[in-house]
Amino acid sequence: MESILLVDDEEHFRERLARAFINRGYTVFEAADVDQALDMIKKNQPDWALIDLRMPGKSGLDLIREAKEFLPFLKIVVLTGYGSIATATEAIKLGAYYYLPKPADVDDILNAFQKDPDLPSDSEQVEFEVPSLARAEWEHIQRVLNDCDNNITAAAQKLGIHRRTLQRKLYKYAPKK
């Protein structure tokens, strides 16, 4: 019986996935952040890990790096709602096995864990559709804001825009595509 660690700060989503994996016969461990995940990895040494990229505190990329140091053969799939080709490439370089954009169901996740990463995939072009200009701008703003520890004034300076302009952009919802 294989075991999987689910790392996501969204409790409802994580619990729903856990139930689905348990119903399929997997042993499931859950963590809401990087520190909990590292404790679970050290204590339980799961076969697989499904890691959300964006969480409070350290990111999923940090977790991949630290988890691979402790458990080099851990098979990791990154699941995120803030996907971009740059973060996917970085996750793969750090040792992730595969990268999935949210929303993904249990079957998508299981398929990702069972794929051979050395074989080209027909679906890769579909998974990484080019984002709209509005979506690319939104993701860039979010990355800069995250780099500035959510300091709007510092982020506006880095972006070269007025603070109020950035606040108006952040007030709007993220673009769908």
- Taken in order of first residue, the domains within the chain and their CATH numbers are 3-127 (3.40.50.2300), 133-171 (1.10.10.60)
Distance of CA 81 to the CA centre of its chain: 7
- pLDDT at position 121 is 47
Alpha helical stretches, state H, the chain: 11-23, 34-44, 60-70, 85-94, 106-114, 124-127, 133-147, 152-159, 163-171
Number of C-alpha atoms within 13 angstroms, CB side, residue 65? 7
Return the pLDDT at 122. Answer: 45
Report residues of the chain scoring pLDDT below 70: 82-84, 116-131, 173-177
Query: What pLDDT score does 176 carry?
Result: 65
Q: What is the pLDDT of residue 164?
A: 93
Q: Confirm if 63 and 37 have CB atoms less than 8 A apart.
A: yes
Q: Which pLDDT score is estimated for 157?
A: 94
Q: What is the pLDDT of residue 43?
A: 92
* pTM, 2 dp: 0.64
